[in-house]
Amino acid sequence: MGRAVQRRFVGLTAAVAALGMTVTLSGCGSDTGDGDVTLRLVAADYGTGAENSSQKYWDDVAGKFENANPGIDVEVSVYSWKDVDRKVAEMVKAGNAPDIAQIGAYADYAEAGKLYAADDMIAIRTASNFLPSLTDAGEADGSLYGLPFVASTRLLFYNKGLFDKAGLGAPQTWDDIQSNAAALKQRGVTYPFALPLGQEESQAETLMWMLSGGGGYTDEVGNYAIDSPANVAAFQWLKNNLVGKGLTGPVAPGKLDRAKAFDAFTKGEVGMLNGHPTLMQEAEKKGVEVGMVPLPGIEGPTKGSMGVADWMMGFKQNGHRVEIGKFLDFAYTDDNVLAFADQYDLLPVTSSASLAMEADNKHESLHEFLSALPNSQLYPFGKTSWAQVSETIKEKIGSAVEPGGNPESVLVDIGSQARQAESAGRGSS
């Protein structure tokens, strides 16, 4: 079926989907790969408006794929990050799953048996090209279900102009952060150290501080360890040495969202914060010269950075295993991976594309983030309980550093709820 013919089916597909029914187009779909097939792809929008919408990227990839693969058409739907996970969940619940989804979480669908394993879809050369640190996070029950799509890492950002005026060097340790923040406060900097522990994305800020203190969300065998001594010590330090000494600015960390902190950094109001590549570009556009170092730790730079990845997955419902695999093999070619990473200042998830980016001076500003990726620590995406635990962290972690707050009791509470959620998930599987 050509693109023109395929477009005539879109309205029918949407109408039937609205009734919570599946639609089978004539001659479309089987596990054998025979006959004409329309693949439905749902993806997240990384753009900030119509001009740089991810719809343009996916339409371009789909068009090139269709030209190279007669008989397979690709119908693309792109939704904002606020909506895309919910949209896919609604489609799956209605029995109208897409063939391919590029979203924020895969584990629930893998647990429910709704996804193809990577070995059943993609070529060995594609699977073996993913960075190992990312594929580890995409596995459930020993098989890869969440294919990493795009990644980023976090570094500590500092405002070079403010640091130069205060005669400060880049921080290497927690003590450096405290002393630098104190000096910046004396010079009237609004947020000497911006600490966004509000509900927008505080699970990220939390993990960065846990890692810099030698902890993390899980232990060496993958069990939740949110209330470990190392994690408690990290938040006790934050409470006593940054928040308690008035070094985190006019907004309480528990009320400060990441977007507000990032916006303040681009306005020159922040001395230091933990940031990602997109913030670097935004700040420099507004004339803020950005310094970047690995996350400072107790005695020196943290060995592992926090990494973030989003996920691609293939749904079994429509039986398009072969066609899904062909499309994913195409989507993960270096040209396509690099084009997306380049457009949004993000990091490629494959070894070959990473090497190409590292060798290209055009991407020099991303090289430090890129070098941090292989040793990065990601959220425990493979746990079906993670989405619930993440929400608990976002809701409660800010109270750990409040005046009169008790970091240990807050982390014990979150840790207890995490273990209960994990047990409940195992019990229902």
3-class DSSP state for residue 213? coil
Question: Are the C-beta atoms of 179 and 398 separated by less than 8 Å?
Answer: no
DSSP string, 46-89: -SSSGGG-HHHHHHHHHHHHHHHSTTEEEEEEEEETTTHHHHHH
Sign of CA dihedral 38, 44, 49, 51: negative
Question: Residue 28: left if φ>0, alpha if ψ -120 to 50, beta else—which one?
Answer: beta
**Cα-Cα-Cα-Cα dihedral of 183, 186, 189, 193, to 10°?**
40
Q: Which of 44-58, 143-157, 324-338, 344-358 has the lowest mean pLDDT?
A: 44-58
d(CA 132, CA 127): 10
Nearest to 101 by CA among 127, 79, 70: 79
Q: Which of 7-21, 306-320, 338-352, 365-379 has the lowest mean pLDDT?
A: 7-21
Q: Which of 5-14, 188-197, 243-252 has the lowest mean pLDDT?
A: 5-14
pLDDT band, residue 47 (cuts 50/70/90)? confident
Residue 356, phi then psi, degrees to nearest 5: -65, -40
Question: Are the C-beta atoms of 373 and 413 separated by less than 8 Å?
Answer: no
Instruction: Tell me if domain 3-151+309-372 and domain 155-304+383-428 are identical in fold.
Output: yes
DSSP-derived secondary structure letter, 187: T
Name the residue with tokens 């025979």.
Answer: 34
Residue 349 burial (CB count, 10 A): 28
Over residues 332-378, the pLDDT tens digits come to 999 999 999 989 889 999 999 999 999 999 888 899 899 888 888 99
d(CA 235, CA 227): 10
Question: Are the C-beta atoms of 187 and 204 separated by less than 8 Å?
Answer: no
d(CA 359, CA 199): 38
Give the pLDDT confidence score for residue 365 in this predicted structure: 86
Give the pLDDT confidence score for residue 402 in this predicted structure: 96
Q: What are the residue ranges spanned by the domains of the chain?
A: 3-151+309-372, 155-304+383-428
Give the pLDDT confidence score for residue 7 in this predicted structure: 30
pLDDT above 60 for 4: no
Give the pLDDT confidence score for residue 60 in this predicted structure: 97
The structure's pTM equals 0.81
DSSP-derived secondary structure letter, 401: G
Give the pLDDT confidence score for residue 109 in this predicted structure: 95
Give the pLDDT confidence score for residue 31 in this predicted structure: 58
Nearest to 405 by CA among 290, 253, 217: 253
Question: Are the C-beta atoms of 173 and 158 separated by less than 8 Å?
Answer: no
CA dist 208 → 334, 352, 358, 417 (Å): 30, 28, 24, 21
428 alpha-carbon distance from chain centroid? 27
To the question of domain 155-304+383-428 being in CATH 3.40.190.10, the answer is yes
**Two structure tokens written together for 132:** 């190992």
Give the pLDDT confidence score for residue 35 in this predicted structure: 60
d(CA 15, CA 2): 21
Nearest to 273 by CA among 261, 263, 281: 261
Task: Look over the chain and give the mean of its residue pLDDT values, rounded to a whole number.
Answer: 89
What architecture (CATH level 2) is domain 3-151+309-372?
3-Layer(aba) Sandwich (3.40)
Question: Are the C-beta atoms of 114 and 317 separated by less than 8 Å?
Answer: yes
d(CA 106, CA 121): 16
User: What residue spans of 84-144 are helical by DSSP H?
Assistant: 84-93, 107-111, 118-121, 124-127, 132-137
Q: Which residues contact 294 (CB under 8 A, 6 or more apart)?
A: 155, 156, 301, 302, 305, 372
